[in-house]
Amino acid sequence: MDAQLKRGLLDVCVLTAIKNEDSYGYKIIKDMQPYLTMSESTLYTILKRLELAKLLTVRTVLHDGRARKYYRITKAGLHRIEEFTEGWNEVLSIYRFITKEAKEK
């Protein structure tokens, strides 16, 4: 898959993982597990990028005597998910057309 395309997809994946409630590193990876496996390093890079783009915010919470970072989606982050979903509906229609055509041949 095209690298830039993949990056965009993974960004939206992570945003979706924190869409409904704040989450933390390990939980994000676990929630995505049934659909895709993401390495911790990849997740770190994505979270950093999303933070820089102000699509999420980070806060440190004391949990059982150690620090845990929680990530919260911003309005801009939610907007990014919407944009992505709309864009991909178009891609899906095209995909259906391509595969329908391929089957008929």
Partner 1 sequence: MTKKEFLSSLRKKLRGLPPLELRERIGFYSEIIDDKMEEGLSESDAVADVGSVDEIAAQILAEVDPEIIVKSHKKYVNPWQIAILIIGSPVWLSILIAVFAVIWSVVIAIWAVEIPLFIIGFISKYLVIACLESAKFTAKLTKKCIESIGNIFHT
Tell which one of 4, 20, 37, 39 touches partner 1 (CB under 8 A): 39
User: CA-CA distance, 71 to 25, in Å (whole number)?
Assistant: 8
Q: Kindly state the smallest distance separating residue 90's Cβ from partner 1, in Å.
A: 31
The alpha-helical segments, DSSP class H, found in the chain are: 3-17, 25-32, 40-52, 75-104
> Is 67 an interacting residue with respect to partner 1 (CB under 8 A)?
yes
31 within 8 A of 71, measured Cβ to Cβ = no
Residue 3 makes contact with partner 1 by CB under 8 A:
no
Q: Which is nearer to partner 1, 45 or 85 (CB)?
A: 45
95 binds partner 1 (CB under 8 A): no
Binder among 64, 86, 90, 104 for partner 1 (CB under 8 A): 64
